[in-house]
A = this chain, B = another copy of it.
């Protein structure tokens, strides 16, 4: 039974004017996430799939060539529904101002090979603008800006049944935050490669730029290492539940072409149960009544071989993933096994830290950070907030990843203040744990969360790199990843890209979000509905 009070949706327009009684009437041809500056006229140009082309007027590279090909497919995906011989019906329309047969892509600077933390993503779009009437231009300093511009341009096109209309438009756009991440967890459940690629497509269509890959955890170790092949041989769910070197390079390449960084996480010293069988001596042996009891705890910080192992492993990992940053984890370390182990106690006594297990954890993390800093690629790193909370010395460019206090916003706001006061960069996830599903309109909460909403100086706010939506994998695999994640993640994407002023009203967001959801569905992604609604492409899923 549907109970009215459970539905809090803003009704944009409802009534017999629309077919049936959906809760929302979608916008037409609006861009999601909302561009920083956009102005549109009353006239439109016509884009015809048969004659349309992009033209490179600035720099060029493989990323650009691939993107133009991709966006022509995306733009004209539904063109098989168009009338095959459209009459020249627009000529009689006063608002018609000509055919847009070419859009110039003006890339000002040479392409960079990989997207990176400081990449420039701003771009401009002009369609039939006063200074360039009759023309279409996408202009940016960097290839990453061109990619964002192509996505926005594709969203401006609206099918009229015979061709596509593009309103006279000027856009100047850039992201509010440089770090707009999404985390997937491939340990609790293996995620098929095809679903990860689908997810990357959706990230690009929502202007996310960091894919945080939580590769391994207690439950399974699907990362196939060349230097330590036993890790996945003994720790993956099965021999087919793995990501090979080729799989990883395919995923990194797919992301690169879409301007998305891939940030791997190898969480230690806790959350490592699955590492144990493939690397004897790595995990702490737990004791009961003076004897090993057959179970294992976090990585053993007293075994020096373990640091050699980690150096070799992280050398391989950072080589495969290219990004300057790596995520080192460091969350939720349980002390009970360390407490049971006599060698650990002896070590702590020798180091004058008996009973102070946070300090033992610090010994480990400090050595880990040290070795990571000296890897061939001189990597930077992210850590979960516990590493900061425990007072461990971390490098100046470290990003502290805040994840606690999902239900108590005051908690993460205080943490944001503390971390930035200490001068560290930070990324917020606390309010964007999408794995916590709830009945009803939970996306409202995501739209009301702002990473600048804490007490601090302007300098502190500058240290907020952005945010990251997380989809932990306890209840998620290839069967439900896409519908459960999207379009809920789109809500986070807009908060991270668009200005605060443009994202303060859920009421204004609703009809735009409805259009965006149908757009993603039209493009072939099984993204779920957010309220009673329909899309033309939902009849034959």
Please give the residue numbers on chain A whose beta carbons come within 8 Å of chain B beta carbons, in ascending order: 1-3, 6-7, 16, 19-23, 188-190, 192, 194-195, 217-221, 234-238, 240-241, 271, 273-274, 276-277, 331-332, 384, 403-404, 435-440, 472-480, 482-484, 521, 526-534, 536, 538-541
Closest Cβ of chain B to A297, distance in Å, is 13
**A16 — which chain B residues lie within 8 A by C-beta?**
234, 276-277
Closest Cβ of chain B to A232, distance in Å, is 9
| A534 & B192 in contact (Cβ 8 Å cutoff) | no
Instruction: Determine the distance from Cα of A481 to Cα of B14 in the docked complex, in whole angstroms.
Output: 25
| A533 & B274 in contact (Cβ 8 Å cutoff) | no
| B189 & A384 in contact (Cβ 8 Å cutoff) | no
Instruction: Determine the distance from Cα of A528 to Cα of B22 in the docked complex, in whole angstroms.
Output: 28
| B439 & A438 in contact (Cβ 8 Å cutoff) | yes
Q: Which residue of B lies closest to A276 (CB)?
A: B16
| B274 & A480 in contact (Cβ 8 Å cutoff) | no
The 7 closest A-B pairs by CB, nearest first: A478-B541, A20-B220, A480-B483, A237-B534, A479-B526, A20-B237, A188-B532
| A22 & B237 in contact (Cβ 8 Å cutoff) | yes
| B274 & A479 in contact (Cβ 8 Å cutoff) | no
| B480 & A19 in contact (Cβ 8 Å cutoff) | no
**A478 — which chain B residues lie within 8 A by C-beta?**
526, 538-539, 541
Sample (20) of A-B pairs whose CB atoms are under 8 Å apart: A1-B472, A2-B217, A2-B472, A2-B474, A6-B474, A16-B276, A19-B237, A20-B274, A23-B219, A189-B534, A192-B541, A194-B541, A238-B534, A238-B536, A240-B539, A478-B538, A479-B529, A479-B538, A480-B528, A483-B483
**A475 — which chain B residues lie within 8 A by C-beta?**
439-440, 528-531
**Given A237-B22, A480-B480, A534 and B190 contact (CB-CB distance below 8 Å):** yes
Closest Cβ of chain B to A199, distance in Å, is 13
| A3 & B539 in contact (Cβ 8 Å cutoff) | no
Closest Cβ of chain B to A442, distance in Å, is 10
Cβ-defined partner of A439 (8 Å) among B218, B238, B435, B531: B435
| B20 & A194 in contact (Cβ 8 Å cutoff) | no
Closest Cβ of chain B to A150, distance in Å, is 26
Cβ-defined partner of A529 (8 Å) among B331, B476, B521, B536: B476
Instruction: Determine the distance from Cα of A77 to Cα of B254 in the docked complex, in whole angstroms.
Output: 33
Copies of this chain per assembly:
2
Instruction: Determine the distance from Cα of A475 to Cα of B238 in the docked complex, in whole angstroms.
Output: 35
Closest Cβ of chain B to A62, distance in Å, is 29
**Given A219-B21, A273-B21, A474 and B7 contact (CB-CB distance below 8 Å):** yes
Other A-B pairs, 6, CB within 8 Å; known A19-B237, A195-B541: A1-B472, A2-B474, A22-B220, A478-B538, A479-B541, A483-B483
Instruction: Determine the distance from Cα of A403 to Cα of B3 in the docked complex, in whole angstroms.
Output: 12
**A332 — which chain B residues lie within 8 A by C-beta?**
1-3
| B532 & A20 in contact (Cβ 8 Å cutoff) | no
Cβ-defined partner of A331 (8 Å) among B1, B241, B474, B536: B1
| A529 & B241 in contact (Cβ 8 Å cutoff) | no
| B479 & A189 in contact (Cβ 8 Å cutoff) | no
| A219 & B22 in contact (Cβ 8 Å cutoff) | yes
Closest Cβ of chain B to A435, distance in Å, is 7
Q: Which residue of B lies closest to A401 (CB)?
A: B1
Instruction: Determine the distance from Cα of A236 to Cα of B194 in the docked complex, in whole angstroms.
Output: 35
Instruction: Determine the distance from Cα of A484 to Cα of B484 in the docked complex, in whole angstroms.
Output: 9
| B241 & A539 in contact (Cβ 8 Å cutoff) | yes
Closest Cβ of chain B to A24, distance in Å, is 11
Instruction: Determine the distance from Cα of A6 to Cα of B474 in the docked complex, in whole angstroms.
Output: 10
| A190 & B472 in contact (Cβ 8 Å cutoff) | no
**A527 — which chain B residues lie within 8 A by C-beta?**
479
Cβ-defined partner of A531 (8 Å) among B192, B234, B474: B474
Cβ-defined partner of A538 (8 Å) among B192, B217, B436: B192
| B20 & A473 in contact (Cβ 8 Å cutoff) | no
Instruction: Determine the distance from Cα of A43 to Cα of B477 in the docked complex, in whole angstroms.
Output: 36
| A539 & B190 in contact (Cβ 8 Å cutoff) | yes
**Given A192-B538, A475-B530, A479-B526, A236 and B20 contact (CB-CB distance below 8 Å):** yes
Cβ-defined partner of A477 (8 Å) among B217, B219, B436, B529: B529
**A220 — which chain B residues lie within 8 A by C-beta?**
20-22, 534
Closest Cβ of chain B to A267, distance in Å, is 9
Closest Cβ of chain B to A242, distance in Å, is 9
| A188 & B2 in contact (Cβ 8 Å cutoff) | yes
Closest Cβ of chain B to A132, distance in Å, is 38
**Given A2-B188, A438-B437, A539-B190, A219 and B20 contact (CB-CB distance below 8 Å):** yes
Cβ-defined partner of A480 (8 Å) among B438, B474, B484: B484
| A439 & B439 in contact (Cβ 8 Å cutoff) | no
Closest Cβ of chain B to A127, distance in Å, is 29
**A539 — which chain B residues lie within 8 A by C-beta?**
190, 192, 240-241, 478
**A221 — which chain B residues lie within 8 A by C-beta?**
20
**Given A195-B541, A439-B437, A526-B479, A189 and B533 contact (CB-CB distance below 8 Å):** yes
